[in-house]
Chains A and B, each alone.
Chain A
Amino acid sequence: MITYLFTGLFALLIGYFVYFNAVLRPEVINNPYNSRQENFAKRVVRGKILASDGTVLAETKTAEDGTEIRSYPYGNVYAHVTGYSTRGRTGIESLANFELLTSNAFFGEQIANELKEEKNIGDNVVTTLDTKLQETAYNALGNHKGAVVVLEAETGRVLAMVSKPDFDPNRVNEDWESLNGEENSDGVFYNRAMQGQYPPGSTFKVVTLLDYMRENPGYEDFHFQCSGSMTEGNYTIRCYGKNAHGNEDLKKAFAKSCNTAFSSIGLSLDEDVFKTNCESLLFNSELPLDLPYSKSAFSLKGGAAPAEQMMTAIGQGETLVSPMHMAMIMSAVANDGILMKPYFLERVETYSGDLVKNFRPSVYGSLMTEAEAEILTEYMRAVVTEGTGSKLDNMGFFVAGKTGTAEYSSDKSKSHAWFAGFSDTGESDIVVCVLVEEAGSGSEYAVPVAREIFNAWNMERE
């Protein structure tokens, strides 16, 4: 019996070892702390990073004398998403480091290279990035600081990710001092799309609405008389532009982004249920993302002051979110409540184009029921048809979304402009999330950026 017991233990041990080597291994060795990766570079020429259509986003050029230069043909456009590999590694350069430094070229050829003492050529990584959408997003954001995320709702493929201010990955080494210098306080290396933490402003009303629906099955009977402001305790909430929206039902309040109505909803919500619902949407928790990100924060809890309740309901307060997380919530709405894990890598090929590995879409889980997703979609469509997102109406296809204008300091004249939404055609729809820092209202600054992206997508589609 003792023999069986011990043999069993060893069988488990070997089983775990096999599991480690077969399943856990790639993730472990890709860890940036694993200095052993540097060794691969001595034997392998780093592979290319390609867009989904095969456009080269990063490649290594070897000079006559053997020195290697990593070149990024599109410069700043893909800076944050491809990253760089000259001073440490970031972005996909870090994520796919192992694949890029592994050669699966034909065996005989590798042996021949060994004999000639030449380096083998590393595998190419084909990303999910769409060149047209990335360039459109990059140009549409213009000189503003901010971020854009474009996802494919059904699969979670990341089609575009832009963060500004940016940098030229070709010059990271040369410009290292100035990019990190004190005069450069903007944090150009900081990927605002995933690491940025912003008050969500009115885009958060999607979350408030979902919680209100869950807490009040009779939500359709909601009626509110908006006079442009409301005061509770000694705190006053005003609607944007000091508009009074008059008599409104829930859908209209949402479409017009009525702060007053949503503040009163906020006062009626159970804070703890609200928090639980937010956490089911991945606030205060890890996100299923492969590149560095910041966790989103939601801190409202039982016994909060009325002012805090009201502000939280309209996305001011203490709540913080990244554009990527907002895009993920939208993608769940667009995808019948199911969140697909966002991913950047489509497949790995040898340098001659033979398939090495395919990455498949994977389901993260259900964030809401299909019915809830449907109602949210309907409400967000109203934002476009009769509310703050009207610049997205009449595009030739349906768009659903929510705008936001997030105040981030005591200076009320400054605000971040948000748009988060998706094309609503039922066919490989895209999710677009735009954040323009220190600009103004969402409908004025973020929606036009989204419009250009939707247009580009529509043209590509046809």
Chain B
Amino acid sequence: MTNLIVELSKFAFIILIALYTLLSFSAFKKKSPGEVNYVWKLQNLLMFFIHLLAYVVMYLQKEEIKLLIFYLFQLFLLQAVVVMTQVIYPQINRLVLNNMCLLLAIGFIMLTRLSYDRAVRQFQIAAAALILAMVIPVLIRKCGFLTKIPWVYGIAGLILLAAVVVFGESSNGARLSLKIGSFALQPSEFVKITFVFFAAARLSKSTAFKDVVLTTVMAALHVLVLVLSRDLGGALLFFVAYLVMLYVAAKKPLYFISGLGAGCAAAYAGYHLFSHVRVRVMAWSDPFQYIDNEGYQITQSLFAIGTGGWLGTGLYQGEPNKIPVVVEDFMFSAIAEEFGGAFAICLILICVSCFMMFINIAMQIKNDFYKYTALGLGTLYGFQVFLTIGGAVKFIPSTGVTLPLISSGGSSIVATIAMFAIIQGMYLLKEDEELRIEKERKRNARAKAKKARAAKAEKTKERS
């Protein structure tokens, strides 16, 4: 009987998330406020169904009461986030909010399935981060000086990254984390934000050639230090985010093209200089030949995705734990294995809708600093999703970056939640701006009408 429920739940998951995805994209069309509100409510409902069903299916198979208790905690947290955010910030971007909650929920589900302890830890960190993130939009609104201290961001970021190179803990060939007490911190996750702030502050002030050169040197230093710590995925992310920001700020395609050229040259040099780059590329180009060593991880990922097929094996029916470092780098494969390829495609599309919304917001903001920040963070998000999923399905060589909000990792989840909150803050500023403009327009119109009436009165007076 349980088997049957697991089998049927696969279809239910796919239908639920497909509906959710459809609604995500319908949000880009103009609709009346009432309709839109209905869409958001429906999305929330779908999310809670997916979440509930997943825990029911897991409970039926494991029969551990702790799963149900954990579920209730998550339900409370997600519900609280949805409600509280709307109470504090009525103008919040609901698509971003809903997507964040859904991705978190899927992350919790898959992590619980893979490793209960990690899931609990992830939940605790996420809960703390979500509460802290509530104040971020206020901070952005109140603290104008944030836009004026580029070098503070730049230098602080570099110092943090350099500290990793010097004192960092090595894991899987890359130096990524600093140990502070029992906490392992991944500074590069947070430096993403300071880096974007730095570039946005500099580029919004001036795009004169001299300034651009200086900014670019600083950005290149970031990338270089990341390469030194062997965090190639991170280096690539920073590089692409900066390139996009520079292009939009300076509006010079030449910068973009020469940047791309430099990137290609660097990639070529990196390939020949570093053996670990070659190993990654080798494992990508023919993983089955090196199945026992270099290609082991990626082939396990492909086995997972392939065995899952379109419909998935159902929760607990696959073996996603066979993939090394699955909870950090290969969550996508685990999801594709047990929830199926159709579900996985919906997941990609949801991430894409999130990314599109970020860029949308960025393009509507008038203030340059906020615009570039939103753009930079949005690019970081979008490209990171691309890198990790592309790596998992062997579309590109694996770079070992996390799937934001879904993969296990405290630093990653805190930084991503902060990123989402920052973009929300900017969205709110834009809404404020629009409200102000709207008010001003109304006031002007009123004044005009008054004037006209006065003039008319004057005329009639004269005539009489």
Contact = CB atoms under 8 A, between A and B. Distances in A.
Contacts of B326: none
Interface string B365-389: 0000000000100010011001001
Interface string B280-307: 0000000010010000000100111111
Interface in B288-344: 288, 291, 299, 302-307, 309-310, 313, 317-319, 322, 341, 344
A224 B386 CA distance: 69
Nearest to B394: A20
Given A10-B348, A16-B393, A39-B319, A33 B303 contact: yes
Contacts of A28: 302-303, 306
Contact of B303 (A18, A21, A36): A36
Contacts of B302: 20, 28
Interface in A8-67: 9-10, 12-14, 16-18, 20-21, 24-25, 28-29, 31, 33-37, 39, 43
A117 B345 CA distance: 32
B345 A7 contact: no
A248 to B, nearest CB: 48
Nearest to B345: A14
Given A31-B288, A35-B322, A114-B4, A6 B303 contact: no
Interface in A373-406: none
Contacts of B394: 20
A115 interface: yes
Interface residues of B, dominant DSSP: helix
Interface in B139-192: none
Contacts of B26: none
A114 B9 CA distance: 14
Contacts of A20: 302, 305-306, 393-394
A335 B336 CA distance: 44
B444 interface: no
A252 B15 CA distance: 73
Contacts of B355: 6
Interface in A103-155: 111, 114-115, 117
A117 B3 contact: yes
A45 to B, nearest CB: 15
Contacts of A29: 303, 306-307
Given A2-B244, A7-B352, A34 B3 contact: no
A6 B344 contact: no
Nearest to A11: B352
A33 B299 contact: yes
A31 B303 contact: yes
A178 interface: no
Contacts of A111: 4, 7
A3 interface: yes
Interface in B340-370: 341, 344-345, 348-349, 352, 355-356, 359
A6 B304 CA distance: 27
Nearest to B292: A33
A6 B390 contact: no
B345 A31 contact: no
Contacts of B454: none
B1 interface: yes
Contact of B319 (A9, A25, A36, A43): A36
Given A6-B355, A20-B306, A33-B291, A13 B4 contact: no
A314 B419 CA distance: 73
B341 A21 contact: yes
A21 B386 contact: no
Contact of A114 (B7, B348, B389, B395): B7
Interface residues of A, number: 30
Given A2-B247, A28-B306, A36 B318 contact: yes
Chain A facing B: main interface SS: helix
Residue from B247, B341, B344 having most chain A Cβ neighbours under 10 A: B341
Nearest to B322: A35
Nearest to B386: A9
B39 interface: no
B141 to A, nearest CB: 26
A461 to B, nearest CB: 41
A2 B318 contact: no
A31 B299 contact: yes
B248 interface: yes
A102 to B, nearest CB: 10
A329 to B, nearest CB: 26
Nearest to B351: A10
A28 B352 CA distance: 28
B438 to A, nearest CB: 26
Contacts of B305: 20-21
Interface string A281-312: 00000000000000000000000000000000
Nearest to B348: A14
Interface in A79-104: none
Contacts of B3: 43, 114, 117
Contacts of B341: 17-18, 21
A15 to B, nearest CB: 9
The winner among A6, A34, A115 for most chain B CB atoms within 10 A is A6
B439 to A, nearest CB: 31
A6 B393 contact: no
Nearest to A38: B319
B365 to A, nearest CB: 15
A2 B318 CA distance: 38
Interface string A221-237: 00000000000000000
Contacts of A10: 348, 352, 382, 386
Contacts of A117: 1, 3
Given A9-B386, A17-B345, A21-B309, A115 B299 contact: no
25 contacts: A2-B244, A2-B247, A6-B355, A6-B359, A6-B382, A9-B386, A13-B386, A13-B395, A16-B393, A16-B395, A17-B345, A17-B348, A20-B305, A21-B306, A28-B302, A28-B306, A29-B306, A31-B291, A33-B299, A35-B303, A36-B304, A39-B319, A111-B4, A111-B7, A114-B7
Interface of A: 2-3, 6-7, 9-10, 12-14, 16-18, 20-21, 24-25, 28-29, 31, 33-37, 39, 43, 111, 114-115, 117
Nearest 6 pairs between A and B by C-beta? A29-B306, A28-B306, A34-B303, A36-B307, A114-B4, A16-B395
Given A6-B355, A6-B359, A18-B341, 5 more contacts: A10-B352, A13-B348, A21-B310, A31-B291, A36-B319
